[in-house]
Amino acid sequence: MKRSSLGLFLLMILAACSNQDTAMNSVVANLYPDQASVGFKQFSKQCSSCHRPPMPNQHTDLEWAGVIALMQQHRAQAGYGAMSDDIKQQVLQYLQKHSQQGESS
Ligand code: HEC
């Protein structure tokens, strides 16, 4: 009895989360810049496993370099494996091209 109500509770949470995700994705999907680029494709692939990919204008060039290094560690810790240098560069270039500095100056 206890077990099944816990199961139901978890299911409800899961359902709530996935609904929210779909709604979020459909709203946010149109807002990322330069979606046809290779950089964006790598970015959305490498950065969506653990959380919603961040908006590039959320950080400056310098900050992005730090965030990418930190995310490499998260990937390794979570068993995803680090990004190759090529892929890391593509993601970083995409983020920096549309970063806070890039847009405001
Ligand atoms: C293996 C899981 C994982 C992947 C893949 C991942 N992240 Fe994260 N990310 C995290 C975790 C965990 C946090 C929260 C803890 C922290 O901030 O270090 C986080 C937080 C962040 C933050 C918020 C922190 C801040 O300084 O604003 C940003 C931005 C971010 N990630 C960007 C990225 C980008 C860009 C990528 C793709 C290169 C990426 N993440 C891929 C796990 C991941």
With a pLDDT cut of 90, the percent of the chain lying above it is 66
Whether pLDDT at 39 is above 60: yes
- Cβ neighbors of 92 (< 8 A, separation 6 or more) are 64, 65, 68
Ligand 1 center to 10 CA (angstroms): 25
Mean pLDDT for the stretch of residues 31-48: 96
Residue whose C-alpha is closest to residue 8's, from 16, 20, 19: 16
Mean pLDDT for the stretch of residues 53-59: 96
pLDDT computed for residue 105 by the predictor: 47
Ligand 1 touching residue 74 (CB < 6 A): yes
Asked if residue 50 lies in contact with residue 22, where contact means CB atoms within 8 angstroms, the answer is: no
Pocket test for ligand 1, best of 51, 59, 83, 84 (most atoms within 8 A of CB): 51
